[in-house]
Amino acid sequence: MKIDLGKTLAGLKHSLQTATDLSRPWDRFHDEVAMFPIFSIIGQVEDNPRVVWALETGGAHLLKQRRKAVHANFVHLAEHRFWHGHCQIGPRTVIFFFFDDIDVGLAGYFKDVTAPEVDLVRLTVLEVQQGRAQAN
């Protein structure tokens, strides 16, 4: 089965940006993107400190304490400005996808990867330059 990856990721991005129910882009990702072996073929294994920070922040919200991401494995599809990967934050296994061009992603924090329950967190990374804020 041949897929148009750019078109598929554009649809996923739109779904993520407009979703009020985060299970929709989560399911779409797993149904249309994650099931294909594209990541190991065209992706590059890389670190992304911005995504790590966002994942740790989401984990801190769920766990009520900040924990470091460990055992991280991130794949970058540079042409599509798209990231996908997993890590461990405290007792939670985390699977995510993230779009660099809009600085938005979605992460699932699993208490047990063999169970269907997952806490979904929309990730947003905004860089703020110091000294640029203005008071009104």
Q: How many structural domains comprise the chain? A: 1
Is 130 part of any domain?
no
Taken in order 37, 23, 118, 9, is the CA torsion positive or negative? positive
Contact 25, 9 (CB under 8 A): no
Q: Which two tokens stand for residue 12?
A: 């996923």
* 3-class secondary structure, 2: coil
pLDDT at 114: 84
Is 131 part of any domain?
no
Other beta carbons within 10 angstroms of residue 53's beta carbon come to 13
Is 133 part of any domain?
no
Mean of the per-residue pLDDT values of the chain: 88
Look up residue 81 and give its DSSP letter. T
Separation of alpha carbons 95 and 79, rounded Å? 21
Separation of alpha carbons 59 and 96, rounded Å? 12
Cα-based distances in Å from 96 to 37, 54, 115: 16, 11, 17
Is 56 part of any domain?
yes
pLDDT tens, position by position, 78-134: 999 999 999 999 999 999 999 999 999 999 999 987 888 999 999 988 776 665 555
Is 50 part of any domain?
yes
The more confident residue out of 28 and 40 is 28
Model's pTM, two decimal places? 0.87
pLDDT at 38: 66
